[in-house]
């Protein structure tokens, strides 16, 4: 099974820029480490954020959550948010994809 995680939350208006800065640092570290079995995306609409994470090899998120930049981002996320983030963690088998990295293709 693969891990699929979707997290949605709204930041306090005065914390939105800092939240985006911290979240983007995770992507910088991911690009430097380049794990080939994960896909991670960040979406924003005003003060609302959505994160999408896919691990094509295992039901595990440590490729992202163990990064120092992610730990820095997650440290005060509740304080930056209007309400605690709402994570949805699912274990599924990927059947089809379009636009994800090649490693996301069904085995």
Task: Kindly tell me if the per-residue pLDDT of 106 is higher than 50.
Answer: no
Computed over every residue of the chain, the mean pLDDT equals 89
pLDDT digits (tens, 9 = 90+) for 16-40: 999 999 999 999 999 999 887 889 9
Cβ atoms of 14 and 42 within 8 Å: the answer is: no
- Contact present, 94 and 37 (Cβ < 8 Å): no
- Give Cα 81 to chain centroid, integer Å: 16
Least confident segment among 6-20, 34-48, 91-105: 91-105
pTM, entire model? 0.85
d(CA 64, CA 105): 20
Per-residue pLDDT reduced to its tens digit, 42-60? 999 999 999 999 988 888 8
pLDDT-based confidence at residue 99 (cuts at 50, 70, 90): low
Q: 85 pLDDT exceeds 80?
A: yes
Q: Which residue has the higher pLDDT, 84 or 13?
A: 13
């Amino acid at each position: 099974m693969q891990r699929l995680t979707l997290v949605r939350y709204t930041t306090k208006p005065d914390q939105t820029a800092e939240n985006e800065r911290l979240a983007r640092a995770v992507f910088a570290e991911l690009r430097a480490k380049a794990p080939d079995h994960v896909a991670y995306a960040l979406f924003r609409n005003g003060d609302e954020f959505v994160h999408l994470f896919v691990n094509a090899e295992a039901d595990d998120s440590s490729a992202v959550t163990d990064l120092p930049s992610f730990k820095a981002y997650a440290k005060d996320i509740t304080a930056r948010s209007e309400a605690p983030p709402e994570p949805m963690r699912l274990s599924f088998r990927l059947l089809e994809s379009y636009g994800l990295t090649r490693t996301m293709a069904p085995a």
